[in-house]
């Protein structure tokens, strides 16, 4: 049962990391496209990347231009933040599971030592001669 929980937890962790990794990659690609859009020889209506920035701004009703460099950087930072949060959360969770199993193992060893001590004590009492 515990192993099923761990497997499900690992699956969830992998899915979240893939999602935020894809968002991070989207931010990186947008940033690169923004750099390319502003470094092409001419900022004309023929420039498809510049036109995409203008059209996105018009569709979202956010002014004249949405700079892909800034948008990509914001998405990249947010995705990085969420990746770090996911990694921290699951690292803490796995540390708790490891500590819990170590505590159980220590209790089991102590209990076995106590049982052996009681058995040895009972064996010595039974072997003692009665006068």
Number of structural domains, the chain? 1
pLDDT for the residue 65 = 81
pLDDT in tens, the chain (131 residues): 566 766 777 888 999 999 999 999 999 999 999 888 888 766 666 778 888 888 888 888 888 888 888 999 999 999 999 999 999 999 998 888 889 999 999 999 999 988 988 888 888 877 756 55
Q: Which domain holds residue 51?
A: 2-127
Residue by residue, DSSP assigns 34-92 as HHHHHHSS--STT-HHHHHHHHHHHHTT-SS---HHHHHHHHHHHHHHHHHHHHHHHHH
């Amino acid at each position: 049962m515990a192993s099923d929980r761990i497997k499900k937890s690992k699956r969830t962790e992998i899915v979240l990391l893939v999602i935020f990794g894809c968002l991070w990659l989207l931010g990186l690609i947008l940033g690169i496209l923004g750099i390319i859009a502003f470094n092409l020889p001419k900022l004309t209506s023929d420039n498809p990347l510049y036109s995409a920035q203008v059209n996105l701004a018009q569709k979202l009703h956010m002014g004249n231009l949405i700079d892909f460099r800034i948008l990509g950087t914001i998405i990249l930072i947010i995705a990085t933040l969420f990746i770090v949060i996911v990694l921290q959360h699951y690292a803490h969770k796995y540390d708790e599971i490891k500590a819990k199993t170590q505590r159980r193992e220590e209790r089991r060893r102590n209990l076995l030592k106590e049982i052996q001590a009681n058995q040895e004590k009972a064996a010595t009492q039974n072997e003692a001669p009665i006068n």
